[in-house]
């Protein structure tokens, strides 16, 4: 077990190294010149060259990467080109907001997805089932910025139940979590539905029913725990999907997380920030996957033997 | 120095008398209260040597002061931290007498040493200031820029609170340069204590000081009670909420939660807002020191033929292009925008006349037209504008293929001598750094900009005009300012004759404000403080 875990950890570190390398090269080949972005349009060629030298951008690619890696192993993500602030400070100050949003989204997607899946399974083949599955299909397909703006317009502007974007209280958290969660809830409802149908077919459920247990008790005490287990393991993988989603959702709702930071940095070709956010996201995804493996292993002992 | 002494008499006459034409603040202005401004992007930096986007530009103006400043809502220079100044008659020595009663936000009194330090800092390559090049005319600039010297030879302290700046050649725009944010006075001890983080913990002499900065959420500016301009600012506090989409900001303004959406009215909502009298009433419209243009590469055939360029000028239907952007602009007739001193009044520009244009093209040997490429930045509305231009060109027989690319790629193509025959400047167009006619010439129409990586995308280089511009900028005597502007007007008229550009439109600015905001409309479309002049606005409740 420990061997399995260490092996996966080593693989994860290699993946992160690969991510850093690929991102660095891609950003290096970007047609946009970060120095021109910093220097602005009135800069003389001399100013441009000065800035290039100061930032070490006149060095060959491998020298730049080697320097970056040297900083990285010491936990130094460098300084933003435009803000001059340390990237680690910028990310650290924004990470809590993103984690909170993610927690909210996981809660939202489980709440919506699982309830829809359970109801659909119990009403299998009826109009309720079909409509729920159509709704879940829409949830999976709808672009997040559209969902976000719609929720914002209906629940914040028209009904006034929630604040129009921003950050701070629980009320601020609801709409962005929902927006982010709706996508996942579509998947979860489908998985929950088939998992539940599978479990309801099992012999022990028939036994429970034959014993004369009431319906609610059968569903919540006997069927649900077994049906949910394989789904819980999926949450780790979700983190990857969320990392993509927060860039959009945080921008729509003015949520001060790392997604918004990445979006602004991309527009300004602020490479150290783009690198930093990419690495932090990659780390989160890797940890999520490790967690998923780990949970699957506990839930399903068969994996351990492999 | 000798020069200066021999001309003291003249110089004294040039000293700008304080008082006579002082800006009169609104007599109804009330002190107190706070406002909320929103922005989509977080503020990059508040270091005056570094900040160079239109969001932090006006914020820095309220935190810092330079020796020179502008009357609110105008393009008229006035002394700032300098109480008065004199200019030697040959225009190369500027002597600034500093105010005595100015304190930094940290409580220390501002001195002549601070002025010298600030100028040395901004020009030092290690500071990485994008504005370093503006100070090219100061004697010793080259040595500092190349790292050979630490201090500017031309900047010296000549009295207890007197700073003298000697230029290597006369520069009529120098007072404007000293009004740029880059010339703001900063306290050395605070800069050194904060190091690279000075942009996050700025200390200046301005009307407001930074009270709070929660990254990604908000910045709070608090009134500087010791501000040297008596009675200012009016507001106790300004809260900048960042991370707000323009559309969300507008909804919040309608809800009474926001006073000014810093990113303006989102284009998709513009007609809706302007169509509602109650909302339109709270929108202030004003000019902007901006011109949108099409560059015609004078080095690439057939645009090396001036007659072809003039024909293209007559083929473009500017009114239709303005319709595409909801009428948020006025047609441009010349490179300078109408609010810029030096603009040639009464000049009509090239008329929209496809028939004549076609005949001119035939006369130049292109009766059957030709094929060319039009480069454009790929964000809305620019591709749509490019299509309109494409249709107009088709109207006189020119087939233009649209190359819709990312901003950086268009800029890179324009900086190559033989790559982009035509570029629509939208999204990258020139907005003046300072309100002077000269600012529209050098980098975008002069020979100095017609270099690889430069911004003169029509690669127009007219040595005669370059000489004339140098001659015009050597006129530093304020009494002859009219004569200088006349020369600039002539320069731009000659440029129009050569037609390296098609000036298309001058964007208008629309600032929306809440009902409680007070102060003259000019403060809400201040040409140098975008979106608004924070020091002079007030709230009425």
3-state secondary structure B467-523: HHHHHHHCCCCHHHHHHHHHHHHHHHHHHHHHCCEEEEEEECEEEECCCCEECCHHH
Task: Indicate the burial class of A302 (C-beta count within 10 angstroms; 0-12, 13-18, 19 or more).
Answer: exposed
Which value does ipTM take for this structure? 0.76
Whole-number Å distance between alpha carbons of A269 and B463 = 36
Q: A21: which residues sit within 8 A by CB, 6+ positions away?
A: A65
Identify the top-confidence range among A38-42, A102-106, A286-290, B6-10.
Answer: A102-106
Residue B453 is predicted with a pLDDT of 79
Write out chain B residues lying below 8 Å of A41, CB-based. 428, 430, 443, 455
pLDDT of residue B119: 97
Rounded distance between C-alpha atoms, residue A99 and residue A106, angstroms = 10
Q: Do B47 and A84 touch (CB under 8 A)?
A: yes
Report the pLDDT value the prediction gives residue B21, as an integer from 0 to 100. Answer: 53
Nearest Cα to Cα of residue B371 among B390, B358, B388: B390
Return d(Cα B477, Cα B170) in angstroms, integer.
10
Query: CB B44 to CB A268 under 8 A?
Result: yes
pLDDT value at residue B489: 96
Q: Residues near A171 by Cβ (< 8 Å), separated by ≥ 6?
A: A162, A163
Distance CA B165, CA B174 (A): 10
**pLDDT at A1 exceeding the cut of 70:** no
Contacts of B14 (CB under 8 A, 6+ apart): B86, B87, B477, B478, B479
DSSP string, B192-230: HHHGGGGGTS---SSSEEEEEEETTTEEEEEE-TT-SST
- Record: contact B216-A256, CB cut-off 8 A: yes
Q: What is the pLDDT of residue B520?
A: 92
B481-498 and B463-473 helices, crossing angle to 10°: 170
Our CA-based measurement puts residue A38 at a distance from the nearest CA of chain B, in whole angstroms, of 7
pLDDT in 10s for each residue of chain B, 541 residues? 334 333 333 444 344 444 445 788 888 889 999 999 999 888 989 999 998 887 899 999 999 999 999 999 988 999 999 999 999 988 899 999 999 989 999 999 999 999 999 999 999 988 888 888 899 999 999 999 888 999 999 999 998 899 999 999 999 999 999 999 999 999 999 999 998 899 999 999 999 999 999 988 899 999 999 999 999 999 999 999 988 888 889 988 998 999 999 999 988 889 999 999 999 999 999 988 899 999 999 999 999 999 999 999 999 999 999 999 989 999 999 999 998 999 999 999 999 999 999 999 999 999 999 999 999 998 888 999 999 999 999 999 999 999 998 777 888 889 889 999 999 998 877 778 888 999 899 889 999 888 887 889 999 999 999 999 999 999 988 788 899 999 999 999 999 999 999 999 999 989 999 999 999 999 999 988 888 999 999 999 8
pTM for this prediction: 0.84
User: Considering CB atoms only, which of B45, B241, B455 is closest to A82?
Assistant: B45
Cα separation values, A10 from A3, A15, B119, B489, Å: 11, 9, 52, 70
Cβ <8 Å between A48 and B200: no
All residues of chain A having their beta carbon less than 8 Å from the beta carbon of residue B242 are 254, 256
A166 contacts B134? CB cut-off 8 A: no
Q: Collapsing DSSP states into helix, strand and coil, what is residue B278?
A: helix
State the number of CA atoms in the 13 A half-sphere of B539 facing the CB.
15
The tens digit of pLDDT for each residue in A220-277 reads: 878 887 788 777 777 777 777 788 888 888 888 888 889 888 888 887 788 899 999 9
Q: Name the pLDDT band for A302 (thresholds 50, 70, 90).
A: low
d(CA A53, CA B145): 13
How far B311 CA sits from the closest chain A CA (Å)? Answer: 30
What per-residue confidence (pLDDT) applies to B186? 97
Q: Using an 8 Å CB-CB cutoff, list chain A residues near B266.
A: none
Dump the DSSP string for B247-266: HHHHHHHHTTS-SEETT-S-
Nearest-CA neighbor of B16 among B478, B475, B413? B478
Q: Would the CB atoms of A94 and B216 count as touching at under 8 Å?
A: yes
Please report the sign of the dihedral spanned by the C-alpha atoms of residue B456, residue B457, residue B459, residue B462: negative
**Nearest CA-CA partner of B114 in B130, B96, B138:** B96
């Amino acid at each position: 077990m420990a061997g399995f875990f260490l092996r996966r950890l080593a693989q994860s570190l290699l993946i992160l190294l690969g991510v850093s390398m690929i991102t660095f090269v891609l950003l290096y080949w970007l047609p946009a010149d970060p120095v021109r972005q910093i220097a602005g349009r009135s800069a003389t060629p001399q100013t441009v060259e000065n800035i290039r030298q100061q930032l070490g951008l006149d060095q060959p690619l491998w020298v730049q990467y080697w320097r970056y890696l040297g900083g990285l192993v010491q936990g130094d993500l460098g300084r933003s080109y435009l803000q001059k602030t340390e990237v680690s400070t910028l990310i650290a100050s924004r990470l809590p907001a993103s984690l909170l949003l993610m927690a909210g989204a996981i809660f939202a997607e489980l709440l919506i997805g699982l309830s829809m899946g359970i109801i659909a399974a119990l009403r299998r083949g009826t109009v309720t089932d079909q409509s729920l599955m159509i709704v879940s299909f829409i949830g999976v397909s709808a672009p997040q910025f559209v969902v976000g703006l719609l929720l914002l317009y209906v629940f914040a502007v028209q009904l006034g139940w929630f604040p129009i974007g921003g950050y701070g209280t629980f009320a601020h958290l609801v709409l962005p979590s929902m927006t982010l969660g709706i996508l996942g809830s579509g998947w979860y409802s489908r998985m929950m539905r088939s998992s539940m149908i599978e479990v309801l077919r099992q012999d022990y459920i028939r036994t429970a029913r034959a014993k004369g247990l009431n319906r609610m008790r059968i569903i919540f005490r006997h069927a649900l725990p077994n049906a949910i287990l394989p789904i819980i393991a999926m949450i780790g993988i979700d983190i990857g999907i969320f990392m993509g989603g927060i860039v959009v959702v945080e921008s729509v709702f003015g949520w001060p997380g790392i997604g918004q930071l990445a979006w602004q940095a991309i527009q300004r070709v602020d490479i150290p920030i783009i690198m930093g956010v990419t690495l932090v996201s990659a780390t989160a995804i890797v940890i999520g996957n490790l967690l998923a493996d780990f949970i699957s292993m506990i839930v399903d002992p068969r994996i351990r033997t492999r | 120095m000798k020069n200066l002494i021999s001309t003291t008499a003249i110089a004294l006459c040039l000293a700008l008398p304080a008082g006579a034409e002082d800006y009169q603040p609104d007599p109804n202005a009330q002190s107190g209260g706070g406002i909320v401004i929103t922005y989509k992007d977080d503020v990059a930096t508040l270091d005056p040597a570094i900040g160079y986007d239109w969001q932090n530009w006006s914020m820095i103006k309220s935190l810092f002061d330079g020796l020179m400043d502008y009357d609110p809502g105008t393009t008229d220079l006035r002394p700032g931290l300098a109480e008065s100044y004199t200019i030697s008659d040959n225009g190369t020595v500027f002597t600034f007498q500093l105010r005595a009663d100015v304190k930094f936000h940290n409580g220390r009194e501002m001195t002549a040493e601070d002025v010298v330090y600030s100028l040395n800092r901004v020009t030092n390559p290690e500071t990485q200031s994008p504005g370093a090049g503006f100070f090219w005319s100061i004697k010793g600039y080259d040595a500092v820029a190349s790292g050979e010297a630490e201090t500017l030879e031309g900047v010296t302290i000549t009295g207890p609170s007197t700073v003298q700046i000697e230029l290597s050649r006369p520069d009529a725009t120098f007072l404007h340069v000293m009004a740029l944010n880059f010339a703001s006075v900063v306290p050395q001890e605070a800069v050194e204590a904060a190091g690279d983080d000075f942009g996050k913990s700025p200390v200046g002499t301005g009307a407001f000081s930074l009270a709070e900065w929660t990254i990604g959420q908000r910045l709070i500016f608090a009134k500087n009670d010791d501000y040297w301009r008596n009675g200012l600012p009016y507001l106790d506090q300004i809260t900048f909420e960042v991370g707000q989409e323009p559309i969300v900001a507008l909804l919040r303004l309608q809800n009474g939660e926001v006073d000014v959406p810093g990113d303006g009215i989102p284009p998709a909502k513009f007609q809706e807002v302007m169509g509602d009298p109650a909302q339109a009433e709270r929108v202030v419209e004003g000019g902007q020191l901006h011109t949108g243009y099409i560059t015609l590469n004078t080095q690439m055939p057939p645009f090396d033929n001036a007659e072809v360029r003039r024909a293209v000028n007559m083929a473009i239907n500017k009114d239709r292009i303005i319709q595409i952007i909801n009428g948020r602009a006025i047609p441009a007739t010349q490179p300078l925008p109408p609010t810029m001193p030096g603009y040639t009044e009464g000049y009509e520009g090239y008329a929209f006349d496809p028939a004549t244009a076609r005949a001119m093209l035939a006369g130049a040997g292109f009766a059957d037209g030709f094929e060319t490429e039009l480069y454009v930045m790929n964000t809305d509305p620019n591709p749509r504008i490019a299509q309109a231009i494409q249709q107009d060109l088709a109207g006189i027989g020119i087939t233009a293929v649209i190359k819709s690319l990312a901003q950086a790629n268009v800029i890179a193509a324009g900086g190559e001598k033989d790559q982009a025959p035509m570029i629509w400047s939208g999204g990258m167009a020139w907005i003046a750094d300072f309100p002077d006619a000269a600012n529209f010439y050098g980098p975008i129409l002069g020979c100095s900009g017609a270099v690889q990586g430069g911004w003169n995308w029509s690669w127009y280089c007219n040595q005669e005009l370059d000489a004339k511009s140098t001659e015009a900028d050597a006129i530093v005597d304020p009494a002859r300012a009219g004569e200088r502007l006349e020369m600039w007007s002539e320069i731009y008229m000659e440029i129009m004759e050569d037609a390296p550009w098609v000036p298309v439109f001058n964007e208008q600015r629309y600032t929306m404000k809440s009902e409680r905001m007070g102060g003259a409309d000019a403060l809400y479309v201040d040409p140098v403080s975008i979106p608004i002049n924070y020091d002079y606005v007030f709230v009425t409740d």
